[in-house]
Amino acid sequence: YYPEHAVEFLKSQKKVTVFSNVEFSNYALFHLPGFKPYIDGRFAEVYKIEQFQRYMDILAHPFLIEQEAKDKNISLVALQHHPAIAKKLVQYLFENKNWNLIFYDETAVVFKKKNSFELSSGFHLDNAYDIAIERILKTRNHEDSLRARVHLGDVLLLFGRHLLSKQLFETVLKE
């Protein structure tokens, strides 16, 4: 899965500094004009070892994003949420009063640093689940549909939406 809908959402936003995981950056590099990744799949060739180590430290110890955001003027965090290594950071940002969840779907999440800039898009979190489910149900490949529902259920668990997540997982198990 690719974060295509999150990237489309970001196209409508002001160009700001983004912290993103390798998975998100690899896609955004080619589909989001002007995107400057924090790190991407070329980390061994393009980035200093210290940058890669800092990236790994932030994923392992999410509170470190606060200082990195301050030091590097990071206003957005965009992550593909299904890699296990990203889950701690997603949960930290969701529970942290300094960050607002501004986008989520079955593939990615985007958080905005509070008071950093004004959103220019009309994405509504209340509709995010319904939009994602509608898109998943249109998926022609049954295996992809199941995988997308599991990913969406995972992120809902991180957001404390246990009942909704349970219902989603139950539909997957029935198929």
User: What does the radius of gyration of the chain's CA atoms come to, in whole angstroms?
Assistant: 16
pLDDT computed for residue 110 by the predictor: 93
From CA 38, how far away is CA 26, in angstroms rounded? 11
Instruction: Note whether 117 and 90 are within 8 A (CB).
Output: no
Higher local confidence (pLDDT), 119 or 18? 18
pLDDT(122) > 60: no
Name the pairing type of β-strands 108-113 and 99-104.
Answer: antiparallel
Residue tagged 């958080």 (tokens)? 111
Q: Are 165 and 156 in contact (CB under 8 A)?
A: yes
Nearest to 29 by CA among 49, 43, 50, 48: 43
For the whole model, what pTM was predicted? Answer: 0.84
CB count, 10 Å around CB of 11? Answer: 15
What is the residue type of 3?
A: P
From the number of C-beta atoms within 10 Å of its C-beta (0-12, 13-18, 19+), residue 92 rates as buried
Q: What confidence score (pLDDT) does residue 76 get?
A: 92
Helices (H), the chain: 4-11, 22-31, 43-46, 49-60, 65-72, 84-95, 125-137, 142-158, 162-174
* Per-residue pLDDT tens over the stretch 32-90: 988 888 998 988 888 889 999 999 999 999 999 999 999 999 999 999 988 889 999 99
Q: At what angle do helices 84-95 and 142-158 cross, to 10 degrees?
A: 40
Q: Which stretch of 47-51, 94-98, 123-127 has the lowest confidence by average pLDDT?
A: 123-127
pLDDT for residue 126: 65
Average pLDDT over residues 96-117: 87
Count the residues in the chain. 175
> Which pLDDT score is estimated for 127?
72
